[in-house]
């Protein structure tokens, strides 16, 4: 990105790009609206929650999810016939390790699995502070981690997106996958909350 565009808000830059491609006759506004409508029609944090619940209940699926997020998402039909348009990496929280997702460049985010991104995820404050002072940012979300917990910050990009596999809460052994999925929140999938 050139120095000239760094201070221009992302929404303005996106609209300028839309105007260029529509002006060149490559696409219409209706085409773009259709793509977004299809994307958001099925985009929900319930999708990511279902994957997490399966991983908690099925150790073999957990291994597949951590080894190849795209293939594991395809098992649920997420991403359509061609799969996801990015590489999905799923990072697991463990005792002593907590994962946090950010996109420092803009706001890359696995929309189909987590639903539309929250406004704070796109904010410059979150994007810069999550990397520099992740423990402080997490405490501002109300998440205080046990002393000595390492925080791994994962920076998404246009090519790679991340999703957190939270720790399974204690005392949930009796729950079905549907019951487990109901425990998982969008913020838990980003890493700004525990489950």
Catalytic residue among 44, 106, 157, 160: 106
Catalytic residue among 2, 44, 108, 117: 108
Distance in angstroms (rounded) separating the CA atoms of residues 90 and 81: 21
**Does the active-site annotation cover 107?**
yes
Catalytic residue among 107, 117, 157, 160: 107
From the centroid of its chain, how far is CA 40?
14
**Does the active-site annotation cover 106?**
yes
Cβ–Cβ under 8 Å, residues 194 and 138: no
**Does the active-site annotation cover 108?**
yes
Neighbours of 161 (CB within 10 A): 26
Catalytic residue among 2, 44, 103, 194: 103
Could you tell me how many helices (H) and strands (E) the chain has, helices first? 11, 4
SS3 annotation, 130-184 = HHHCHHHHHHHCCCCCCCCCEEEEEECCCCEEEEEECCCCCCCCCCCHHHHHCCC
Q: Give catalytic residues, as residue numbers.
A: 103, 106-108
């Amino acid at each position: 990105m050139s120095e000239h565009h760094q201070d221009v808000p992302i929404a303005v830059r996106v609209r300028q790009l839309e105007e260029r491609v529509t002006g060149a006759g490559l696409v219409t506004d209706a085409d773009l609206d259709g793509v977004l409508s299809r994307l958001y029609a099925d985009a929900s944090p319930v999708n990511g929650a279902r994957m997490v619940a399966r991983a908690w209940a099925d150790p073999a699926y957990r291994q597949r999810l951590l080894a190849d997020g795209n293939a594991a998402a395809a098992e649920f039909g997420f991403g359509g016939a061609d799969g996801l348009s990015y590489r999905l990496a799923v990072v697991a929280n463990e005792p002593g390790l907590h994962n946090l997702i950010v996109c420092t460049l803009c706001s890359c985010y696995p929309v189909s699995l987590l639903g539309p991104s929250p406004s704070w995820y796109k904010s410059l404050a979150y994007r810069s502070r999550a990397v520099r002072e992740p423990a402080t940012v997490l405490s501002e979300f109300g998440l205080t981690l046990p002393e000595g917990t390492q925080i791994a910050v994962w920076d998404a990009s246009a090519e790679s997106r991340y999703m957190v596999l939270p720790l399974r809460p204690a005392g949930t052994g009796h729950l079905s996958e549907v019951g487990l999925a109901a425990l998982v929140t969008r913020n838990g999938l980003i890493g700004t909350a525990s489950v």
